[in-house]
């Protein structure tokens, strides 16, 4: 659907396709149809260039600590990961 970015010049402009909601003062995209073309023709709205989109700011990421294995020395002197069973010695 073809649209135009318009804003009202005076008073309140209702948008029937959106439940008769008011057209925002800073402007909105509206469909190109006979209703809006007549509003343009009579000067109730004006076509304007849409505002430049705000630059996207990269989200701040924080380092999340990861789980690491803890090395626990065994009685035989060999190191084993905590939670793992040490192999029996002969």
The pLDDT assigned to 52 comes to 86
Q: What is the mean pLDDT of the chain?
A: 83
The pLDDT assigned to 35 comes to 97
Q: Are 13 and 45 in contact (CB under 8 A)?
A: yes
Distance CA 31, CA 47 (A): 12
State the DSSP string of 51-74.
PPPPPPPPPP--PPPPP-PPEEE-
pTM higher than the cut 0.75: no
**φ/ψ (deg, to 5) at 6:** -130, 165
């Amino acid at each position: 659907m073809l649209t135009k970015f318009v804003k009202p010049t005076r008073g309140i402009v209702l948008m029937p396709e959106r439940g008769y909601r008011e057209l925002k003062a800073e402007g909105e995209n509206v469909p190109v149809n006979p209703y809006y073309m007549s509003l343009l023709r009579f000067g109730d709205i004006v076509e304007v260039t849409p505002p430049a989109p705000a630059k996207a700011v990269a989200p701040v990421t924080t380092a999340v600590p990861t789980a690491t294995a803890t090395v626990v020395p065994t009685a035989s002197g060999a190191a084993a990961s905590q939670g793992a069973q040490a192999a029996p010695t002969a």
